[in-house]
Each structure stands twice: as C-alpha cells, then as structure tokens.
Chains A and B, each alone.
Chain A
C-alpha cells in the first residue's frame, strides 16, 4: 500500500456510523494523541455501543493501544503523552478537569496484553478492586463478589480449592482469566482489552472468546486484536486503524464481507499488515 494514497484519502473516508443512536456508551470526537512531538492518532471519531463488543484492528504501530488507553486515561501515566479532542462516557467528557481519574478507571476497567496478576493470592487479586473502592463492608459480601467474578471469568471451578495460593502460580490462560475476573470484580461499565489472547494457546483463547461473548450482556467491551478471525467471532462492530487514522468502522459482518476502503480490504485479506 502506498503511503501517499493513504494520506490523501483519509479525509474523504466515509465513516459509516449511526450518529447519536440510543445506546452509545462512549463517543470519541476528533481525538488526537501526541507522544511528545510525535502525533500517534489523528482526529479519531468513533462511537462505542453499549453492551456490544467493538474490536479495533490494524497493523502494528497504528495506534490501537494508544486509542484504547485514552478511553480510561491510562495515558496519564505516561509523562510525554497529550490528548486533544473529546471522549465522552455517557455524554460526559472524561478529560474534563472535574473528572476524577480514580472514579473513571473504576467505571472503565482494563485487561492487558500480558497477564499481570499481582503477586498475591488468587483471592486478594480479585478482592483488591472492591477493597480499595470500598464496595463491600463485610467479609461475606467480599467472598460473594470474588466468587461471582471468578465464575463470570470461567475460572471458579479451577481455583475454588486454592484461593489462598499465589495468582502468579496459575497457567498463562488462567492468569489472563484471573485478570478478567479482577477487572469484573469492580463492576465496571466498560472493559477494555488489549490483545488479551496474544500470549495464549488456541484452547485458552477459545475459552476467553466465549467469556467475552457472555460478558457482553452486562458490560460494554472494547478489544484490540491482531486476529481477524477473533474480531469476526467476538465483535459486533469493528474499527480499522492505519497509521494513526481511523480508516473505517462498521458492523463486523459488513466489514469482513464488504469493506468500503481498499486499505481495509487489503488488510483483511492479508495483503499487508
């Protein structure tokens, strides 16, 4: 794919999305992200629907993680990172001065590419979020939350006998599901997942995909993935990023059968990426 063409056509890309439809959870408007002098995202407009799985795809370095991390302001932890434009969660700009980041991150949880359980017991891993946010005031409520979270993450049966053992002692796939349980335990409204299966084998991946589909009924999910098949399997909506631009976003079905942009077509059919 030719660099100059991609630059030229960006402005004219017809971004098909239904404006102000009911059930829009997050609305990104002209989002630009800079790392120091370098701009990583250019004017991204994207609506994320409630109780849907939205997948972000695109070649490496195109800004998927950057966009995902700007949805819960994880970029704040990077000194040189700067965000312009607006991102609204339920109509409220999350970059507004009055927004408390701690509260925001309790509403928008995150699961990372590499499983990163705390070096604590399985129980404490899941209980950490509810504890710091003061969601429970007695032990039995906490036990209940831990159990339901682990059940939602499909891990309960495997670990119920060893909740006091370190979370780091689980297998990679189990660790990732533990991280999902940990995020779920805070009862967020949105869960962001950055390539949650990239370190896992096909069986663990299948389990997590199944899980994502179940979680959809309670949560809004945004997932970054490098696997077309995964995007096609789990998501209702797919957004294709390229060189910092949001090239195309549409129903997943349509995206994989009849993409509008030739860059999308090229990427999906594996001609570049």
Chain B
C-alpha cells in the first residue's frame, strides 16, 4: 500500500518533495478545509450584509411611517343650534346631512379666541381646523338627532400643518416666510394646548378612508381594497390557466415544432417589460372589449397576463421534477393519464407550483407601470366595493402620495409602504402555510 503510493509519487511527483501520500493528503486536507472555511465566511458575510440592508430599509420606512399612525385632534365644545341644522324640526336625514355645520364650528372656534377680530386673522385661525371637521359633527348628529339644541364636545381633526407642528416636523426657528405655519397660528395652537383642548389620538382615518387632497383625511383603504380585488382577479385568472397550460405542455403535448415554438414564446413572454402588458390591456380590454377604465378587473387581467409565464415556467419545472417512478407505478396499476396527474403528479408538484405563484403574485402586487396605462392612477376618493368600481392600487397610491407637495404626505407614503409590505408578508405566510399542508399530506 505505502510502497505503491511511494512509487506513484516518485513517478509523477516531479518537483514535489513529499515521500508519503499520507503526508500529501494531510497537507492538501488543510488547504481544502481552509477553502471550505473561507467559503462559509463569504456566505455568512453576504447574509449579514443582506440582513443589514433589510434592517436599514425597515427601520427607515417604519421610522418615517410611525407619525402617520397618529393624528392631532381638538376637543371643541359646540352648540348645535336648531336654526342652523334643522330649522323646521323635521329630523329628516336629508336635511341633517346637508346642514351648514361649518358655521357652527366657526362660531365655536372663534368664541375660544375673542381677541382675534381682523378678517385676515380669522381666516388664518379657521385654517387650523381641518375641512373634515364638519363630517365629525354631521356623523354625530345623524347618529343621534336628539343632540340638536344641546351643547356637546366633539373631537375633530386639526389641519395637516398644525398636525405636523404638533409632531415637531416643523422647525419653529425658521423665518416665518419659509414656514407653512405662521407665528400667530403657533401662538394660537399653544393657547389651545394650554387649555388642554389638543389631543393626539390613533389615526383611524388612515385605515378607513379613501384618498383625499387633505392629508389628514387621506386613507389607504381605497387602494388596499383596489389591490385586494386586483390580486383576486389576477390569481383567479392566472393560476388555473397557468397550471392547465403547464400540465398540457408537460404531460400531454407531443414534442414538435409547434410546442417548441410555444415554449420559446412563453420564456420570452416572461422577459417582456411590464409596461407593454399595460399597453396591451389598454388596446384589448378597454378599447376593444370596452371594459371600464381604472377598474381592478382590467388591472387584474393585465397582471394575470404578466404573471402567466412566471407560473407556467415554475409549474413545468415542478411537474418535471416529480420522479418518473411514481408515474410508472400509477400507470402500472391501471390509472388513466388524468388520474396519474391529479392523484400523484400534481399534489407532488404543488409546493413548487405555489412557490412560483407567490413569486408571480408578489411581482404583480408591486407593479405600477402597466396599471398607469389602464387608468388606475386616477384620484379616487370612494372605496371600491367590487372589481368593477374605479380604484387605484397600493403601489400607485404610494406613487401619488410621494408626488404630493404636502409635508404630511411624506409620512403617509411610508405608512402606505408598510401596508404594502404587510400585504406581501401576508401573502407569503399563507403560501408557506399552504405548502406545509401539502407537504404534510404527502
């Protein structure tokens, strides 16, 4: 044994001084282990780097988003004079909802500052209250018409600039001309604070309202529902289509020029820039089929087209990786081709198919460009009730808010990103859950 090794080394080992193969192996072993260690180090470094970047991303976004989850409110005591709200005493909801609550608020608010008399000051003073304040009173009155004639304290939002001032986002040391909040307004706000009328509360509006020009009245609900409907349409259209296409191509289709062409085209389709799908949707679904603009159906269809190749490719490779011995076993027992697929191949391929689907859906969820082409970038206040209602989606909402000049939209942009990330996490978690279920069953 040792002899043979020595002679071998003697014959081939030219410049080497090693006499013993054991020695050589030990030396090379050291090198091999070192290489392995180094490789592991690179891996750990790469992961560490990725985690750092992710951490940085999350801390900045969440840090910026946190203020958006609170809103500065004023507890204003108002007198609900019947002659302002319901002069005829009908208690008709129509009348109650159209009443002039603005005057009531003006009156109550100016009563707090008897020293403010000039028209200009009064206008600046009233600007401190959000235009949405009237809805707070209206909702209260509609809910309980017995309040008419009473004196009640109602909590209503202050304007976005005052909100920003309260959150310390506005630098009071800047010269007045460069600030959106005037010196007088700061003084009035401090007086309100001193009287204990100002309160910072959880910003429910952000989660219940649609978009608005006023940041303090703007919410993510509309875009979130739009995204939800769009994703539903995308999933319902692309998943069955893609899985059937993959099964046909993988299990039934003969290998010929035709199917090869189709395969090449599917692979190419996966690489087409997403905006092209938007143009296609505009031309086909809206102009040709006359579907509504800005609607989640159209958005969902466009994104489904975009997601199809991703899922098909993933599903085909998942189907391909099912061991042939399983198919043979089932065929050998007399299962029909469809039974072989539905009973054995598909369940085994399901985890892989789901992974592909989630990747495709996550892509679709973050997609903006094709949706701009079909009008989902519109300013929509109402919350969509179904996939046919005009709406926007989360990434487009983020884009719109990021583009708005108001300081208060900055934090709302970050908050919207958080909601988008939450959507993504939810989707991924449900995919992991489904995958686990399939794996456990088999």
Question: From residue A121, how far is it (CB to closest CB) to chain B in Å?
Answer: 10
Q: Is the CB of B332 within 8 A of A72?
A: yes
Q: Tell me whether A102 and B348 are in contact in the complex, defined as CB-CB below 8 angstroms, given that A112-B329, A132-B339 are known contacts.
A: no
- List the count of A-B residue pairs having beta carbons below 8 Å apart: 62
Q: Tell me whether A129 and B334 are in contact in the complex, defined as CB-CB below 8 angstroms, given that A79-B254, A79-B255 are known contacts.
A: yes
Residue B344 is within 8 A (CB to CB) of chain A in the complex:
yes
B339 proximity list for chain A (CB < 8 A): 132
Among A74, A77, A79: residue with most chain B CB under 10 A = A77
Minimal Cβ-Cβ distance residue in A for B255: A79
Complex Cα gap A245–B119 (Å): 112
Q: Tell me whether A120 and B328 are in contact in the complex, defined as CB-CB below 8 angstroms, given that A128-B333, A132-B339 are known contacts.
A: no
Q: Is the CB of A103 within 8 A of B327?
A: no
Over the window 324-336 of chain B, the binary record of Cβ atoms lying under 8 Å from chain A Cβ atoms (1 yes, 0 no) is: 0111111111111
A105 proximity list for chain B (CB < 8 A): 331-334
Residue A133 is within 8 A (CB to CB) of chain B in the complex:
yes
Complex Cα gap A79–B259 (Å): 15
Contact of B332 among A79, A109, A114, A117 (CB under 8 A): A109
6 CB < 8 A contacts A-B: A102-B334, A110-B332, A132-B335, A133-B334, A182-B329, A186-B333
Q: Is the CB of A112 within 8 A of B333?
A: no
Residue B442 is within 8 A (CB to CB) of chain A in the complex:
yes
Minimal Cβ-Cβ distance residue in B for A113: B325
Residue A23 is within 8 A (CB to CB) of chain B in the complex:
no
What are the 8 tightest A-B residue pairs by CB atom distance, in nearest-first order? A105-B334, A110-B332, A116-B325, A106-B334, A129-B333, A116-B329, A119-B442, A102-B334
Question: From residue A238, how far is it (CB to closest CB) to chain B in Å?
Answer: 24
Residue A118 is within 8 A (CB to CB) of chain B in the complex:
yes
B interface residues, Cβ below 8 angstroms from A: 254-255, 323, 325-336, 339, 343-344, 348, 442
B343 proximity list for chain A (CB < 8 A): 128, 132
Contact of A74 among B323, B325, B328, B344 (CB under 8 A): B328
Q: Is the CB of B335 within 8 A of A102?
A: yes
Q: Is the CB of B333 within 8 A of A103?
A: no
Minimal Cβ-Cβ distance residue in B for A133: B334
Q: Tell me whether A132 and B334 are in contact in the complex, defined as CB-CB below 8 angstroms, given that A114-B325, A120-B442 are known contacts.
A: yes
A106 proximity list for chain B (CB < 8 A): 333-334
Residue A208 is within 8 A (CB to CB) of chain B in the complex:
no
Contact of A118 among B254, B255, B336, B344 (CB under 8 A): B344
Among B327, B334, B348: residue with most chain A CB under 10 A = B334
Minimal Cβ-Cβ distance residue in A for B329: A116
Complex Cα gap A109–B344 (Å): 18
Question: From residue A181, how far is it (CB to closest CB) to chain B in Å?
Answer: 12
Complex Cα gap A116–B325 (Å): 6
Complex Cα gap A111–B335 (Å): 15
B348 proximity list for chain A (CB < 8 A): 119
Question: From residue A154, how far is it (CB to closest CB) to chain B in Å?
Answer: 20
B328 proximity list for chain A (CB < 8 A): 74, 77, 112, 116
Q: Is the CB of A118 within 8 A of B326?
A: yes
B336 proximity list for chain A (CB < 8 A): 102
B332 proximity list for chain A (CB < 8 A): 72, 74, 105, 109-112, 183
Residue A179 is within 8 A (CB to CB) of chain B in the complex:
yes
Complex Cα gap A179–B328 (Å): 12
B333 proximity list for chain A (CB < 8 A): 105-106, 109, 128-129, 132, 182-183, 186
A111 proximity list for chain B (CB < 8 A): 332
Q: Tell me whether A103 and B254 are in contact in the complex, defined as CB-CB below 8 angstroms, given that A77-B328, A112-B328, A116-B328 are known contacts.
A: no
Complex Cα gap A72–B330 (Å): 13
Question: From residue A256, how far is it (CB to closest CB) to chain B in Å?
Answer: 30
Q: Is the CB of A116 within 8 A of B334?
A: no
Q: Tell me whether A77 and B327 are in contact in the complex, defined as CB-CB below 8 angstroms, given that A119-B442, A129-B334 are known contacts.
A: yes
B327 proximity list for chain A (CB < 8 A): 77
Known: A72-B332, A110-B332, A116-B326. 5 other contacts (CB 8 A): A102-B335, A106-B334, A112-B325, A112-B329, A116-B329
Interface residues in A133-176 (C-beta closer than 8 Å to B): 133
A117 proximity list for chain B (CB < 8 A): 329
A103 proximity list for chain B (CB < 8 A): 334
B334 proximity list for chain A (CB < 8 A): 101-106, 129, 132-133, 186
Question: From residue B384, how far is it (CB to closest CB) to chain A in Å?
Answer: 44
Question: From residue B341, how far is it (CB to closest CB) to chain A in Å?
Answer: 13
Complex Cα gap A79–B332 (Å): 17
Complex Cα gap A145–B176 (Å): 91
A101 proximity list for chain B (CB < 8 A): 334
Minimal Cβ-Cβ distance residue in A for B344: A118
Minimal Cβ-Cβ distance residue in B for A117: B329
Question: From residue A75, how far is it (CB to closest CB) to chain B in Å?
Answer: 11
Complex Cα gap A123–B339 (Å): 19
Question: From residue A19, how far is it (CB to closest CB) to chain B in Å?
Answer: 31
